[in-house]
Structure 1
Amino acid sequence: MTLLVGIISIVIFAFRVANSESWPTGSDPYCFLLGVGAFLIIVFESLLWLRKKLRLVRILGKPKTWMKAHIWLGLLCVPFAVMHSGLRFGGPLTTALMVIFGLVILSGVSGLILQQFIPKMMFQMIPHETIHSQIPRVVCHLRNDAEGLIRQLNRDFAFEKMQGDLLHLERVEHEALRSQFLIEGDDKRNRGGASNIKSISAPTIFRQNIPKDHPLVKFAKEYLDDFMSLKKYGSSPLRDSVRMQREFRKVRTELEESQVATLDQLEKICSERNELHQQYRLHLLLHFWLYVHYPLTILLLGLLGVHIYFGLYYW
């Protein structure tokens, strides 16, 4: 339907140009109607944020329907605006208006394309995907789990306390649990951000007390402390999955057979930490266009107001 309306409007414009002695401008009756139509579409497009705020008000229609209308009407607005201008930029105000309008459309189309591919990439590449807002909490859980595994071999071990730890109160409870429980299995997280901790009998390695200069403890202090941190992750070499696997293989050759299981669990936790960072980056890529689209839309509405005022004043 939208495509049909766009084609008809272009045909009418071409017919009027062919049968007119002068090139049409914005004051031409048909071009003026196209301008009014483009303005109304832009106003409607801007109301989408309000519909999202009133998500539970069913009388306004489904958000999915609004989004479809937002996309198709936004595309229809392009030929309307271009024909309203008479295929010319005009003065500084109209030129700025058309440039901003083009950037709004371009950013919106970019966002539409990204949303077709990135969610599929996240589903395929991130098996432990969690709610985006819960990523810091899950990272804290992973850090606590890693610390607990090492403390079962060295009771004095502790990571550097994180500033603003989201799980400060929970850490106290976890300390009591770690004397009785050992994290085991695939350690898959639920979407609420909590880890799955299985109650089992502590194996022999639980009663070991390896020294501070043990390869596993040194590895944890040198690499895992920063890697499992919220703020220092970016400087950790373990961000590179190839480097991470190489470092774990190196440490594995220095451990006793009874300690390898703990290292395997730590490697799984580190892999999940990298997945969470990858999810964070993809989520940022998925939504970065909004930081361009929203401000430019507000600027576009302001310029439209000025354009309409001067257009009517000098008409």
Structure 2
Amino acid sequence: MKTLAGRRISFTTILLGVGIGCYFLWNAVGVALRPQGIYSGIALLVLMLALTLFNARKKLPFLPLIKASHWTQFHIYTGFLSVFLFLLHTGGSWPSGGLETGLFVLFWIVSISGVAGLVITRWLPGVMARSGESLTFENIPKFETRLRREVEEMVCQGEEEFGASAIGELYINKLSDYFKPRFGPTLFMGRIGRFRVRAFQECDKVARYLDDDGLSILNALRKKIDLKYNLDVQKAAQWMLRFWLFIHIPVTYGLIITSLVHAWIALAFTSSR
């Protein structure tokens, strides 16, 4: 079996070869005094329709079609090829008409969000694996509620059995907000690691005033802080993995519809000449 690096080199070589071939064909069409815009536009529309089929393939995993992993590779490299064809088709310049401008903007939103999604889906799974146990997005709120309840019970029990009032004050004044559920984007804006570091720092400030029983409770509290950190990482990562799709997929369908209208107008105008 080919290594991942070997497959990437092979696919990149094929992509470059196809791109060079498209460039020479585009020039040949111009030399033959044929409408370059029509041919490149049709090729680009076909590519975009093929790319859209990737989403349909993911929703039909039970059909004996090409493997989803192969579809993914096809989607990635064909996406880069479509960007090259789009630059050929438009000349890289800003269009003048309203429909063309809308189409131009939609295409770049889809392309940029696609590249962002590629980076996110390659980077975040490793981050999630390093932070701890992987969790499904739907179960995270349940775990957050359970963890906070366990921490509060542990703090109350420590106060009752060992008179660890310092830990109770630590939780109420410094850590109660840490164990509250946070909205996904706020985790990124606050940088998840900073929340945990600050929580540990507050624990260190109290540790010097505790006896052995209090320290055992504090150590258990530190473990809960690590569990909350993993929940925050999983939540933020899962949120981001979903958010980019909420941009990429709807705009893709808008792009396809606008492209079909543009193609119909262009072909109708060409045939009337």
Normalised to the residue count of structure 2, the TM-score between the two structures is: 0.78
Which of 16, 19, 24 lines up with 1:6 in the alignment?
Answer: 19
RMSD (Å), alpha carbons: 3.1
Instruction: Mark the CA change 1:256 to 1:9 in structure 2 (over 3 Å): closer, same or farther.
Output: same
Matches within 5 A, 1:68-147: 68-85=73-90, 90-92=95-97, 93-124=99-130, 126-147=131-152
Distance 1:219 1:252, change over 3 A: same
Structure 2 residue matching 1:145: 3-state secondary structure: helix
Aligned mates of 1:103, 1:228 — CA distance in 2: 37
Task: Determine the C-alpha separation between the residues in 2 that align with 1:277 and 1:118.
Answer: 13
For structure 2, the 5+ residue unaligned runs are: 1-13
Aligned to 1:205: none
Confirm or deny: 8 A CA contact 2:38 2:266 kept in the other structure. no
Which residue number in structure 2 is paired with residue 296 of structure 1?
251
Residue 308 (str. 1) matches residue 259 (str. 2): no
1:103-126 superposed Cα distances (whole Å, 9 cap, x missing partner)? 2112212211232223223333x0
Q: 1:16 and 1:34, CA in 2 relative to 1: closer, same or farther beyond 3 A?
A: closer
AA of the residue aligned to 1:13: W
Aligned partner of 2:230 among 263, 269, 275: 275
Report the counterpart of residue 217 of structure 1 in structure 2: 168
User: Is contact 2:47–2:78 with CA below 8 Å preserved after alignment?
Assistant: yes
In the superposition, relative to structure 1, how do residues 221 and 87 fare at CA in structure 2: closer, same or farther (>3 Å)?
closer
Q: Does 1:227 align with 2:178?
A: yes
- How far does residue 266 in structure 1 lie from its aligned partner after superposition? 0.7
The answer on whether the counterparts of 1:252 and 1:260 sit within 8 Å (CA) in structure 2 is yes
Question: What one-letter code is carried by the residue in structure 1 that aligns with 2:163?
Answer: I
Comparing 83-92 with 265-274, greater Cα deviation is found at 83-92
Cα deviation for residue 32 of structure 1 reads 2.5
Q: Distance in 1 between matches of 2:54 and 2:163?
A: 60
Which residue among 21, 27, 51 is the counterpart of 2:57? 51
Shift of 1:299: 1.9
8 Å CA contact 1:227–1:239 kept in 2: the answer is: no
**Structure 1, residues 250-284: CA drift from partner, whole Å, max 9, x if none?**
22222222221111101110122123213322333
Q: CA 1:216/1:40 → structure 2, altered by over 3 Å: closer, same or farther?
A: same
State the percentage of identical aligned residues.
25
Residue 250 (structure 1) aligns with? 205
Aligned-residue offset at 1:297: 0.9
The counterpart of 2:40, out of the listed 34, 38, 51, is 34
| Greater helix share, structure number | 2
Moved more, 296-305 or 113-122: 113-122
Structure 2 contact 41–263 (Cα < 8 Å) conserved: no
Q: Determine which structure has greater relative contact order: mean sequence separation of CA pairs < 8 Å that are 6+ residues apart, divided by chain length.
A: 2
Q: What is the total number of aligned residue pairs between the two structures?
A: 252
Matches within 5 A, 1:166-185: none
Q: Is the 8 A contact 1:31 1:86 kept in 2?
A: no
Equivalent residue of 2:83, what SS? Answer: helix
1:63 to 62, 68, 74: 68
